[in-house]
Amino acid sequence: MTNPLASPLAGIRVVEFGHYIAAPAATQLLADLGAEVVKVEPPTGDQARGIGAYGEGIVLAFNRGKKSVVLDLTSDDDRNAAKRLISEADVVVQNLRAGAMARRGLGPDDLVPVREGLVYVSVSGFSSKGPSASRAGLDIAAQAESGLMSINGEQDGDPLRVGFPIADVAASYAVVQAVLAALLRRERTGRGAVVEVSLVDAMIHMQSAMWGEWHTSGQEPRRKGNGQATVAPAADLIRTADGAIVLSAYTPEHFARLCELMGKSWMIEDPRFADNPSRVAHRDVLLAEISQAFGAVPTDECLAALADRGLVAAAVRTYGEVAASADTRASSILTTGVSPDGERYPIPSLPFSLDGVDPAPGRAVPKAGADNDELRRYQP
């Protein structure tokens, strides 16, 4: 059994006013690190609870092991109940619409001065300092306005969103980093903190390498489908006998190894493939040669041969294949959650290992208001 004292955030109380992903995902990570998380929900519950299968998936992913209390923040009594919960909290995380908490007397200006050492985190779609501060900003807005969609998709196709809510998840990681930094500073100085995280800013930061490329190349980053725009082969999709792999071998040494593996050493000296600019210019021919070499070979054999030569390659897997993968099972990334109805399900846990920390499997997602009796009457 895991020693609860080994959990880095044991004894830390977090009060969450969160809907959907960004705030609940952040507090889920804090809970996995040992914090007690109290989820404050409106009478209708977290908005994700009412939007069908996708919303239920969000609830199952990001609310394991939390307590839930239903409070109507338009009611004086319930606002006072919220303040009582916060009076003993170390951290508040909220992603309500801009200004909603402040209008109810629950903003950082109201709470930080009266709760010594409080770390107050607000998550929004756009920066609170700019003209879009009051705009609604879900994940798709951040993907669009951060530049991400402009570089995602086929070269001659429309901009595409990433196939999962990457901006929400990126923002949740930023929240956790900020909370841990603020708690460490509080340990040293006694000071609390006011933290702001926007989905757009998180997504801009996620693309830092592309900003560096924009500076060095002097050209706007552009869509290129699976292949990278300036090197080849790089992140290119290659069909195999029973599936597909992605392959990168764009340094001179790695490209030579690939050519030798394929039995096509002549490509090393061919002017069309002599360097990255040449290979990018002749990418179609390059990929045709690679596809001819691997197209009749099973995926596992392709990966084994490429790995033996130190080349980067990976199989394109479905979720079911990922769950069954020996690497996934060995890493313990998947834990077991329990739905509000008692159903057990696999779900990702912490994306890193830390000695002595092992979030307990089988932690339940609460029904909205499951802990009302305890928390509505809470007295510090």
* 336 within 8 A of 344, measured Cβ to Cβ: yes
Q: Which of 32, 78, 90, 168 is catalytic?
A: 168
Query: Where do runs of H (alpha helix) occur along the chain?
Result: 22-32, 53-62, 76-87, 100-103, 108-111, 139-145, 166-189, 199-206, 208-217, 252-261, 266-269, 276-281, 283-294, 299-308, 319-324, 326-331, 372-375
Is there a catalytic annotation at residue 270?
A: no
Helix (H, G, I), strand (E, B) or coil at 238: strand
Residues 6+ apart with CB under 8 A from 370: 67, 68, 340
> Distance between CA atoms of 162 and 153, rounded to whole angstroms?
9
> Distance between CA atoms of 34 and 380, rounded to whole angstroms?
21
DSSP symbols for 304-352: HHHHHTT-EEEE---HHHHHH-HHHHHHT-EEEEE-TTS-EEEEE--SS
- Among 232, 216, 246, 238, smallest CA distance to 281 is for 232
The CA-atom distances, in angstroms, between 4 and each of 33, 71, 198, 360 are 10, 30, 33, 10
Instruction: Look at the block and give the residue holding tokens 């199952």.
Output: 60
Axis-axis angle for helices 53-62, 22-32 (nearest 10): 30
Q: Which residues belong to the active site?
A: 168
